[in-house]
Amino acid sequence: MNHLHLRSAGTSLLLAFDSGEAEIVHWGADLGDAVPDLGLLRGPVPHSAHDVPVIAGLLPQASSGWLGRPGLRGHRTGEGGLPGFVFSPALRVVAAESTLDGRGARIVQADSNAGITLTSDVALHDGGLLEISHELTNTGTGAYQLDELAAVLPVPGAATELLDLTGRWCRENHPQRHRINQGTWLRSGRHGRTGHDSSLLVAAGTQGFSNRTGRVWAVHFGWSGNHEQYLDSLADGRRMLGASELLGSAEVVLEPGESYRTPALYAAYSDRGLDGVTDAFYRWFRSRPQHVDTASGRQRPVVLNTWEAVYFDHRLEPLVELATLGADLGVERFVLDDGWFRGRRDDHAGLGDWFVDESVWPGGLTPLIEKVNSLGMEFGLWVEPEMVNLDSDIARAHPEWIVGPSATPHTSGGRLPLEWRQQHVIDLVNPDAWQYIYGRLDALLTENNIAYLKWDQNRDLAEHGHAGRPSVHEQTLAYYRLLDALKAAHPKVEIESCASGGARVDLGVLQRTDRVWASDCNDALERQTIQRWTEAVIPPEIVGAHVGPTHSHTTGRYHDISFRAVTALFGHFGIEWDIRQATPAERESLRRAIALYKLHRGLIHTGERVNADLAEANLALHGVVAHDRSEGLFAAVALGTTAAETPGRIGLPGLAPERDYIVEAVLPGPVDGDWENTFNQIAPPAWLGTGAKAPGRFLTEVGLPLPILSPEHGLLLHVRATD
C-alpha cells in the first residue's frame, strides 16, 4: 500500500507512504475516485539545503529534514543520570490499514533505537469533519519523558489569512484575524482549563474569506487543560496547523509499556466560507448517540435559572413564587443556583461542603423540588465540585486535599497559590478527594429528583500540583473520570459545563456534558458576538442563551425585552431574571418569545446555521435554515448606529433558489407595543406588516429592504416555503 485516500462530504484526505513515513499530501477539496502515481509530487531540491526533498510527515521530524516545529519532543536519561538522550526520533511506518469502512486509517510508526512506537488514528466523519489523535508507547527499557506530542495538518499556500478567537470573562469568543507571514504564530493556554481567551477555532483561508465565501481550513483542539495552538509557516512555503497539550516539567513520564494519547484535533475544510466549517462540526455533533436531542428523545426544555433573580437569598417562598410565575410563562426546567449548601451565604465560605444547608432548608430541597415538579417542570441544581473555600469544614478536615505547588499542605508550611474569588482547587488526583466529591454528588442525585447539574468552575488552575509536581494533565483526566462515573451512575441527568461562563468550552468536555454556558454576560448586545462565534463550532441546542434582566449587571446596559428575546432564541433558550419584577407587558412579550421558541426549536436545533456577509459592520443577519429548505428563521440585528441612513436590501442566505417562500416578521410585533422603540423611521418597508412572497433566488440575490432598526434592537423573521 503506497497511499490511503479518505473521502467524505466534499473533502479528501490523501496519505502517502512511499517515503517510509506517513505524509498527508492533501487535505481539502474532494479529489474524486482516481489518484495518480504520487511520485509526481516529489519536489525539487534547492541550493544550500538537504540533499533530498524534505518530508513534512504526519508527525514532522528533524530526522526527515523538517526545520520547523517538531511534532514530538521528549528524551530519555542516559548513563550517569544525564537527560536529553534519544532526543530526535526517526519514526517510520511499520503498519497502515484502512478503518471505519474506508473513512478512517490507523498508522503505526516505530523507532526501535529510540524505543518508541506511535499509533495514529485518522477518521473523516460523514459530514466531512476530520479527527486525528496519536498514541505514543514506550517500548524501551527505561523511562521516557514526554515534553510534547502534537497533531498537525498541512494547509496550502492559497491560505493567506488566519482567523482565531480570543476574549476574557464576559467577552468570550471574539474574532481576530491577520495575514499569514513567515514564522510561527502561537497561542498558549496556561489556565488549567480551556480558558476565556482560548481559541475555539483557528481558521486559515484564502484572501478575504468570509461567512459564505472562500476556501477555509479550520481546526479545534478537544482538550480542557493547558494547550498550545499554532501555525508554522516555513521559508520553503509550507504551512502546518497544529495543536498539543502544554505539559509541565516532567508531567508525563512513560515507564516501559506505558502510553500517552493526545487529545483529538478536529478539522474541517470548506469551499463555501466559515459557514461550511460550521456545518461540518454540527453534522458531527448531531450524529453522536449521546447528543442531547438524540439521547433524550425530546427537544430542549425552556430553562429558568435563579442566579440573577435571588443570588444568595435562598428562601422557599420567593423561589416558589418564581417557579409558579415561570411555569405560567411556559418554563420547563427550574434551576436553583449557588447558595443552597452549608455555610454558603456569600462566596467566601462553604465550597466543598456539599450538604444541603439545614439552617436554610430545614426540610431539605424536597419541598422546593416537589413544588417545581408539581408545576410540570424539571429541577436542576448548581454545583462547583472542583473548588473549595478555606472557610469550609472539608478544608479544615483535609488541608492535604487542597492543590498547591508544595508537596506538603499549607497547614504544615506548604505554600498555596493566590486565591481567586476566595477559593482554591480540590486535588482530584488524590483518590480520597476524588471519592469524596463523587460520593457527595452521587448522594445528591440519588436522594433528590435532580434532572440537571449546572457544573461551574470559577478559577484558573495556577501553580497546580500534586505531591509537589505539576498535575494539570492528571487533574483534567480525573475531572473527565468524575463526569464519566456520574454519567454511568445517573445516565438521565444532564450536565452543563460552566466555568465562570465560557472558560471550559471544548470538544473534550462536550464528549461528557450536554450543554455549555457561553458567558456569564447576559447583555444581549455582547451575546450577539459571543453566541455567533461560539456557535461557529458548537450547535445552538447545547449553548445556553438566556433572557437576562432589563439592566445587565455585568455591563450596566439597558435593553428592551424583544432584543433580549431575539438574541436568546438562537441557543438553548432560558431566563435568568427576576420575573417577579417584570411588567405585565414584559411578561406578555416573554410568554410570546417562549411560545415562538417552542414552535421553532426543532428547526433551531437541527437546521443549518447561516451568517450573511454584510458590508455594514454594525448590522448583522444570521439564522438557521432547514436542511430540506422548507423554512428558515432569521434575526436582523443593529449592533450600533449604521453609516447609511437606511440598511438597504438584505439577502436571506441558504434558501432553495427555485422554491417560493413567504417572509413574515414574528418578533417584535404590534402586540408587544414596542414598534416605536425597535424601529427608527416614519414609515416601514411595504412588506413588513403584510409579509412578502417571492422565490428563494430573489430573496437571496435581491433581498428585502429592512426597517430602520434602532441601535441595539433586532427583528425576527420566519420564512416558509409555499410549494
pLDDT of amino acid 385: 98
Helix then strand then coil, in percent of the chain rounded to 5, is 25, 30, 45
What does the pLDDT look like over 130-184, one tens digit per residue? 999 999 999 999 999 999 999 999 999 999 999 999 999 999 999 999 999 999 9
Give me the phi and psi of 717, to 5 degrees please: -115, 135
Short-list 131, 152, 165, CA closest to 288: 131
Specify burial of residue 72 (Cβ count, 10 A radius: 0-12, 13-18, 19+).
Answer: buried
**How far is the C-alpha of 585 from the C-alpha of 566, rounded, in Å?**
16
CB 586 within 8 A of CB 561: yes
DSSP for 358-379, written as a single string: TTT-TTTTHHHHHHHHHTT-EE
Give me the phi and psi of 563, to 5 degrees please: -65, -40
DSSP for 567-631, written as a single string: HHTSSEEEE-S-GGGS-HHHHHHHHHHHHHHHHHHHHHTTSEEEE---S-TTEEEEEEE-TTSSE
Cell match 482530584: residue?
Answer: 428
> Is the four-CA dihedral 529, 534, 538, 541 of positive or negative sign?
negative
- Distance from CA of residue 221 to its chain's centroid? 10
Neighbours of 376 (CB within 10 A): 10
**How far is the C-alpha of 653 from the C-alpha of 612, rounded, in Å?**
6
Mean pLDDT of 457-477: 97
Q: In Å, what is the CA distance from 488 to each residue of 367, 493, 721?
A: 28, 10, 44
pLDDT of amino acid 696: 98
pLDDT of amino acid 506: 98
CB 623 within 8 A of CB 652: yes
Mean pLDDT of 707-717: 95
pLDDT of amino acid 39: 83
**How far is the C-alpha of 564 from the C-alpha of 560, rounded, in Å?**
7
- For domain 3-287, give the CATH superfamily: alpha-galactosidase from lactobacil brevis (2.70.98.60)
Three-state DSSP class for 333?
strand
**How far is the C-alpha of 294 from the C-alpha of 287, rounded, in Å?**
8
User: Is residue 441 pLDDT above 80, yes or no?
Assistant: yes
**How far is the C-alpha of 292 from the C-alpha of 494, rounded, in Å?**
8
List, in order, residues 6 or more apart from 608 with CB less than 8 Å away.
275, 279, 282, 624, 625, 626, 627, 654
User: Is residue 295 pLDDT above 80, yes or no?
Assistant: no
Residue 40 grid coordinates: 509526481
The one-character DSSP state at 551 is B
**How far is the C-alpha of 213 from the C-alpha of 276, rounded, in Å?**
9
Confidence of residue 646 (pLDDT cuts 50, 70, 90): very high
Residue 211 grid coordinates: 461567512
Amino acid at 413: G
**How far is the C-alpha of 10 from the C-alpha of 129, rounded, in Å?**
11
User: Is residue 586 pLDDT above 90, yes or no?
Assistant: yes
User: Is residue 492 pLDDT above 90, yes or no?
Assistant: yes
**How far is the C-alpha of 274 from the C-alpha of 270, rounded, in Å?**
7
Three-state DSSP class for 522?
coil
User: Is residue 294 pLDDT above 90, yes or no?
Assistant: no
Specify burial of residue 190 (Cβ count, 10 A radius: 0-12, 13-18, 19+).
Answer: middle
Instruction: Strands of 83-129 (E only): list them.
Output: 92-99, 104-111, 116-124
610-721 fold? Immunoglobulin-like (2.60.40)
Neighbours of 96 (CB within 10 A): 18
User: Is residue 670 pLDDT above 80, yes or no?
Assistant: no
pLDDT of amino acid 678: 78
Residues annotated catalytic, as ranges: 456, 520
- The CATH class of 301-397+427-463+472-602 is alpha beta
CB 456 within 8 A of CB 464: no
Q: Are strands 174-179 and 161-166 parallel, antiparallel or unpaired?
A: antiparallel
Neighbours of 51 (CB within 10 A): 6
Specify burial of residue 613 (Cβ count, 10 A radius: 0-12, 13-18, 19+).
Answer: middle
Short-list 209, 152, 171, 153, CA closest to 534: 171
CB 318 within 8 A of CB 310: yes
Domain boundary assignment for the chain = 3-287, 301-397+427-463+472-602, 610-721
Cα atoms in the 13 Å half-sphere on the side-chain side of 134: 25
Amino acid at 243: A
Residue 455 grid coordinates: 457544573
Q: Cis check for the bond before 256: say yes or no (omega within 30 of 0).
A: no
As a whole number of angstroms, the longest Cα–Cα distance in the chain is: 86
User: Is residue 672 pLDDT above 50, yes or no?
Assistant: no
**How far is the C-alpha of 81 from the C-alpha of 61, rounded, in Å?**
26
What does the pLDDT look like over 252-281, one tens digit per residue? 999 999 999 999 999 999 999 999 999 999
Confidence of residue 612 (pLDDT cuts 50, 70, 90): very high
CB 148 within 8 A of CB 136: no
Three-state DSSP class for 350?
coil
What does the pLDDT look like over 80-120, one tens digit per residue? 888 989 999 999 999 999 999 889 999 999 999 999 999 99
pLDDT of amino acid 1: 67
Specify burial of residue 695 (Cβ count, 10 A radius: 0-12, 13-18, 19+).
Answer: middle
User: Is residue 200 pLDDT above 80, yes or no?
Assistant: yes
**How far is the C-alpha of 164 from the C-alpha of 169, rounded, in Å?**
17
Short-list 390, 400, 385, CA closest to 467: 400
135-156 burial, b at 16+ Cβ within 10 Å, e below that, comes to ebbbbbeeebbbbbbbbbbbbb
Instruction: Strands of 492-557 (E only): list them.
Output: 494-497, 515-517, 543-547
> How confident is the prediction for the chain on average, in pLDDT?
95
CB 244 within 8 A of CB 150: yes
DSSP for 651-685, written as a single string: --TT--TTSEEEEEEEES-GGGT-HHHHB--SS--
- Distance from CA of residue 230 to its chain's centroid? 18
Amino acid at 664: E
Residue 521 grid coordinates: 454576560
**How far is the C-alpha of 83 from the C-alpha of 672, rounded, in Å?**
72
Specify burial of residue 408 (Cβ count, 10 A radius: 0-12, 13-18, 19+).
Answer: middle
Which one is predicted more confidently, 52 or 391? Answer: 391
Mean pLDDT of 461-486: 97
Mean pLDDT of 555-572: 97
Neighbours of 418 (CB within 10 A): 8
Short-list 611, 674, 669, CA closest to 637: 611
User: Is residue 298 pLDDT above 80, yes or no?
Assistant: no
Mean pLDDT of 34-50: 87
Which one is predicted more confidently, 425 or 671? Answer: 425
